[in-house]
Chains A and B, each alone.
Chain A
Amino acid sequence: MSRSAGDLVLEAQGLDRSFGGIHAVDDVSLEVPEGSLHAIIGPNGSGKTTLFNLITGHTRPTSGRVRFAGEDITGMPYSKVARKGLAKSYQITTVFPLLTVFENVRIAAQAAGHAYVFWRPADGIRAVTRRTEEVLERIGLAADRDVVASNLSHGDQRRLDLAIALATSPRLLLLDEPTAGMSPPETAATVELVQELNRDVTILMIEHKMDVILTIADRITVLHQGRKLFEGTPDEVRDHPEVKEVYLTGSR
């Protein structure tokens, strides 16, 4: 398969999902080209996380289709979607709490080539160890490699969450509010990290902090009450009257 800038990694068409009476995601379409950094913004409860879950196969869409790298992945189970090269970090930190930082990342790193190996010790698989160390280095957790994950600070746990996603060597990285609950310096470091990661991997991220998103995103989708309110470049979003209104008043 030939890859070039402009090829679509992700293509969602008319995704729709209701929970009881709540129309959480209402006919949303999305196109993410290879190499881009695409952001999704919207007020609380506007359906951002649900949209992610529809893409990853957590939740089945009522209607609509998802194509990833040219393949239809609608309705595929989450683990299979992950194997195709789509990794996600979580809005609510999701790590392996009683395992060490190194072990957390290694679990993800070995998934690609050594998932179900039971006849040799994990410690002896050099390629996996190297990949794990590389990711820890890149995320800045190398010094904490032997710390049990639940003993990390909140900010470091957020980064470990991201490290696990990254270690699977995905083609598309979904980040659900990677800076949630972080202090300003931690946020700045994470933003820098995300930008750096974007050099090798396509990123689709949800973010609440407008200043963050307006500086780093190539393209922004604005969700409101489950619907796509607007999509455009950061400049277009900044100047859009409806978006301003939603963000200033919280509702229309």
Chain B
Amino acid sequence: MTDLRTPPASDGTPAGTGAAAVTIARTRGAGPARWTWGQLALLVVLAVVVMFTVPNPSLAIGMLVYGLWAAGLNLLVGYGGLVSFGHALPFAWGGYAAGLVLLHVSTSAWLAMLVAAGSMAVLSLLVGAVCLRRTEVYFSMLTLAFAQLGFFIALQWDSVTRGDDGLSGIPVPTLWLPGVTIELNALRDPLTFFLFTAVVVLVVFAAMVLYTESPMGRVLQAIRENEERARGCGYNTRLVQLATFVVAGTVAGLAGGLFAMLNNFVGLQPYWLLSGVVLIMVILGGRSSLFGPFLGAVVYLLLESSLSRSFASWQLIVGAIFVVCVLAFPQGLWGLVTQTLPSLVRRGRRTAR
């Protein structure tokens, strides 16, 4: 009958809801984003705070990398209403791609990042074209399946990925800039690495903010609200979603590449095991902005690093905190600050009068 990709033409009623993934995507937390360009300033402030307060440099750099990755995922989850359960795939792919380039081709940081992001863009196009044949929870399941597939390939394809052992001894990347050559050695010179990462992250973050503010980004949100109507305005809704899938994948690939450069190592752990973690970062931070997930990543990593030192079962505690967060403030931490608190204050003032 009709194309299977399109929800039934039920004249206006939104296509079947009920699945958890859909609930995540459709609750009020995903409402209109208020903060736009101010997010850039917030990110600079956050990066400076992290730089001066987080004692472990590798953790501080990791916060920037994870933050970028989570913000990119939120293009799909918060803006697009497309909940990916397999966002470890682009991150891990980017890590392996950068690692292999540094090991076998050149120690150029630019080349490693370019290959990590570029190859992932191409792969995202293919994976996205398949996953977006379905929507809602079926989309989520397909992304999960692809991440599982990637994991097994990484495990089995020993000659390239070195399976269980992973790629260790990745050489220190070199950053060629006009006039200067800089060694990006996270151990010996963490400040340089941090600043380099911060600049890259800020530029990519700015590009993502522009994307959400552009006509295309607005259509993405409109599709989340009502795909049928967006189609009625003449939009090829799958095209917009696929483009977003590619953007989120490319950003994740770049983040994975940076992570490989930071650790000089790529392996099954932790790369392939982070699909759930990055989703938690997004939801913890809040889905109505790009800054929220970034904040979520920083808070998550802080919790992890402080709890894992004192408790063996720290994941249990993080899980419990997460459940409480989702139930008590579904808009996430940033939503709490920008939406819930102001409305409470307003209500408080009204009753005081």
Contact = CB atoms under 8 A, between A and B. Distances in A.
Interface in B218-238: 218-219, 221-222, 225-226, 228-237
Given A79-B234, A83-B234, A115-B234, A94 B228 contact: yes
A148 B215 contact: no
Contacts of B2: 59-60
B32 A77 contact: no
A116 B215 CA distance: 6
A223 interface: no
Interface string B231-271: 11111110110010000000000000000000000000000
A168 B229 CA distance: 12
Interface stretch (A102-110, A190-198, A240-248): A102-110
Question: Which of B3, B216, B221 has the most chain A CB atoms closer than 10 A to its own CB?
Answer: B216
A91 interface: yes
Interface residues of B, number: 37
A117 B214 contact: yes
A211 interface: no
Given A78-B232, A107-B233, A53 B9 contact: yes
Contacts of B133: none
Contacts of A93: 12
B243 A98 contact: no
A151 to B, nearest CB: 11
A99 B32 contact: yes
A107 B12 contact: no
B11 A119 contact: no
A106 B230 CA distance: 12
Contact of B211 (A91, A114, A118): A118
A56, A91, A107: residue with the most chain B Cβ atoms closer than 10 Å: A107
B233 A128 contact: no
B214 A119 contact: yes
Contacts of B32: 98-100, 103, 148
Contacts of A100: 32
Interface of B: 1-3, 9, 11-13, 28, 30-32, 210-211, 213-219, 221-222, 225-226, 228-237, 239-240, 243
